[in-house]
Structure 1
Amino acid sequence: MLFSDEENNIVIAEDAYLLKGFLLGQGEPLLLALSNVILQAPLRHMVTPGGYNMSVAMTNCGDWGWVTDETGYRYSLRDPVTNNPWPVMPEIFKKLAIDAAKSVGFNHFEPDACLINQYSVGSKLSLHQDKDEVDFSHPIVSFSFGLPAMFDFGGIKREMPKIAILLEHGDVLVWGGRSRLNFHGVRSIKAGEHPLLGPFRFNITFRCSH
């Protein structure tokens, strides 16, 4: 574990945690691994079932990748653009995701899907649930890099109250159990320049899809 100090683990809801700075000190190997994945499976703006282009550019690595098009949301073994299998999930990604989950009590997390989102200034992710997975007993683990973002974390119903959480470079969110299907989203990214990633925010999300 990178941090043994429990003060860095902040409870944001039942079975949901913010791990402040959990990834700091691992930036260079993580960002190198990220670049290698994007070279193999370039970022793209996928189309929603409603026919809209997502403002967030994305790609995947791991056994399964999350995709969306006019036919719906789903996990796919292959990149629909190239028909190739998704790049292998980098070992450092998987290890740190498992370590983060263990640090807050999710001891059997073995992600098979890794979603990579690139936010440019002005892009956002509307309030939604992560419910395309087969088994909701596994948590979601989410890494943040680059520009800061305001993350809204709500309840099991869309209209329930939300809390706003500032996510900064190196932070990790983990949520599962009683909060696994809570609504969440990312507000529009404000203009800025990160010393490593320029005018972008990257979010790397780990899931057990099957």
Structure 2
Amino acid sequence: MSKLLELDLGHFYKVKWVRVPRDFILGSVLRGTIARRTVQAIKLTAIEYKYNEWLFNKVFNKEPLERLIDIAAIEASDLKFNINDFFSIIGDLELEDLVASYIQVTRNAVLLKSSTFKANPKFEFHLNTKGKTLLVSVKSGKGETLKIGSFVSDVRSTTEVVLFSTANTPYSGDDINGVTTLQKNELYQWACQNLWALPKPFVLKLLHYGEINE
């Protein structure tokens, strides 16, 4: 401690460190630790903050995390979650993972990793099928309504636009050939039957929401 006092540091804190398996770390935390500045904030929602605290306590007390996420047993029990709770606790990156997984499995598509960089802010990522490239826009929150007509110029013979929004009114405008709108209920039903395809942090939040949100 005396050595620390000699250093030119405005503040320092005594902390407890634990080693958390990477699979259980939130995507927002992983992305937030990519070095851009000497000191930078990691933006978390209230439930994400509580999840981190809950996860720390589990690891600190040496509780095996894999036992908390027995997906085979969960799916065999036909456990269902409330759809409103489901979409209220899913993070932005987890939502993108859900949509990407759903499209890859149901459309036999392949995610193009290079497309996930924000070169085109209109779309979160692209996927390839044998016949077309799927341009996918994913919006979270209650107020982000997607205007179907604003995607007309992106539709070509070799491309299809796929939209998903969690807003109370997710889409506006008339249906357009070449623009597919996904509905919350179809993703929710698919996710409940395919927990294996979802990020582990999100599955843990679902299974232990009551304990995490105390």
Structure number having the greater helix percentage: 2
Structure with greater proportional strand content: 1
- Same-fold status (TM-score > 0.5): no
Task: Answer 1 or 2: higher relative contact order, Cα 8 Å, separation at least 6.
Answer: 1
